[in-house]
Structure 1
Amino acid sequence: MASEITYAEVKFPNASPAAAAEVPPKTKKQEHHPQKYPPWLPWLISLLLLLVCIALIIAFLVVPLSPSDEEPTALQQKFTEWQCDSAVPQGKGRGWTCCPKGWKRFQKSCYYLSDDRMRWAESEQNCTGMGSHLVVINTEAEQAFLTKELLDALGRNYYIGLRARQVGQWQWVDQTPFNATAAFWRKGEPSNVVAEPCVAIHTSSEIDNWNDSRCESHYRICEAAAVTV
């Protein structure tokens, strides 16, 4: 006799109602939380900004009052003692115009009146060796200044930086174009002869005091740009 098979429906209380296959749960998106900074960081940033502002103030106000970082001129390399005058009103900042001790200053130039005599070529070499050149006269004011200074000088004739490469063709040592209308020749000068290619100032109260001459031994006037600090 065959046994009777009985079917019964059994329900489990925690079972999923339909799950033929278990589906893996979706991965949760990672939540982004704002990063927390230490409370002292804003103070540090403020301090750095303050330091930058101070550095900029120093750069614009203090640095211009300091001596220039440019390479020293030939004149500065030759001399250690200087005479300086303020080139700007007091309290207006930097601006001292300096010449070597014993030199004369007029406007932006320094002048050396020698106490010994040399030929013209040697005179130019001597000036060059001091970081200068034989004087080049550009204005009537400059000529008047030198004329006045020479009244108390030792010699009668002082070489300037003017010479004729050919008769009547005058040339300044610094290649400044010669302006015949701004020359200060004595009456009857220049002679314009081959034997007198060099030019000297003859000590005189008259502003027109240049004369061409032989390139023999005379005193000299050297000129260099004044130094500003």
Structure 2
Amino acid sequence: MASEITYAEVRFKNASPSADVKAPPEKKKHEDHTPKYPPWLPWLISLLLLLVCIALIITLLVTRFSHSRGEMNALQQNATEWLCVSAIPQRKEHGWMCCPKEWKFFQKNCYYLSTDYMSWNDSKDNCTGMGSHLVVIKTEAEQVFLSTWIKENIKYGKKNNYFIGLSAQEVGQWHWVDQTPFNVTAAFWRPGEPSNVKNEKCVVIHWKEEKHWNWNDIPCDVPSFRICEAAALTV
């Protein structure tokens, strides 16, 4: 008798049908979000920075030139008579250097000794109003020139001190009115000066001192003569 074959369907609990097998999702490639700049952009930025620097320099020079021109125009308006000397070295286009009458010429500058007394602040304003500034002494030659001139004035009874453009906001911290750095090697103090005390923050040339080292710090509100200075007019 033929044997009967029985078929049975068997399923394994943990097995998954092949049809249900899914491949893992493919990872998306990382997108590069870094911005890309044109190669000429750094050069453009550098050029703009250079132009800004040039503009600042030109502005500074124009401001200083305008200030100088303003002083000279004021000096010209206040002076009706001028005294001129031959310029050295002689130049074809500019052969003379001129100062207002009653001013004195020395090394391309004009100097004025006042005949009235004022405080230091009023002296500063007075010189500015004439198109000049309180004198700024930069060399020994300039100091000797001024001291000699003051001694000559003593003969005419003008015995008083002369304010110069040196003062201090803090004790011992000296500054010139035109922002010229104070040079201790070109300072001409009297022996024992400056006193460097709180109530003496302005400087005069002392008329009694026989030598040329004659600066003295005094209270700013003590009325004194003054020395004004301006660049000579070149014509």
Provide the residue aligned with 2:230 in structure 1. 224
Partner secondary structure for residue 169 of structure 2? strand
Q: Deviations over 1:105-164 (max 9, x none)?
A: 101110000011000000001100100010000101000100100002213300000001
4+ residue runs over 6 A deviation: none
Which runs of no fewer than 5 residues in structure 1 stay unpaired? 1-69
Which runs of no fewer than 5 residues in structure 2 stay unpaired? 1-68
Q: 1:160-199 maps to which residues of 2 (within 5 A)?
A: 160-199=164-203
Percentage identity across aligned positions?
Answer: 63
Partner secondary structure for residue 124 of structure 1? helix
Mapped partners of 2:192, 2:215: distance in 1 = 10
Provide the residue aligned with 1:209 in structure 2. 214
Q: Which of the two has greater helix per residue?
A: 2
Q: TM-score normalized by structure 1? A: 0.66
Shift of 1:90: 7.5
Q: 1:46-85 maps to which residues of 2 (within 5 A)?
A: 73-85=73-85
Q: Which has the larger radius of gyration?
A: 1
Q: Deviations over 1:162-203 (max 9, x none)?
A: 001100000000000001121000000000001100100002
Q: Which amino acid aligns with 1:222?
A: C
Paired positions, count: 160
Shift of 1:91: 9.3
Mapped partners of 2:210, 2:116: distance in 1 = 22
Q: CA 1:140–1:91 in 2, change beyond 3 Å: closer, same or farther?
A: closer
Q: TM-score normalized by structure 2? A: 0.65
- Whether the 8 Å CA contact 1:148–1:205 is kept in 2: the answer is no
Alignment of 1:124 with 2:128, yes or no, is no
Provide the residue aligned with 2:9 in structure 1. none
What is the RMSD computed on CA atoms of the aligned residues? Answer: 1.8
Partner secondary structure for residue 152 of structure 2? coil
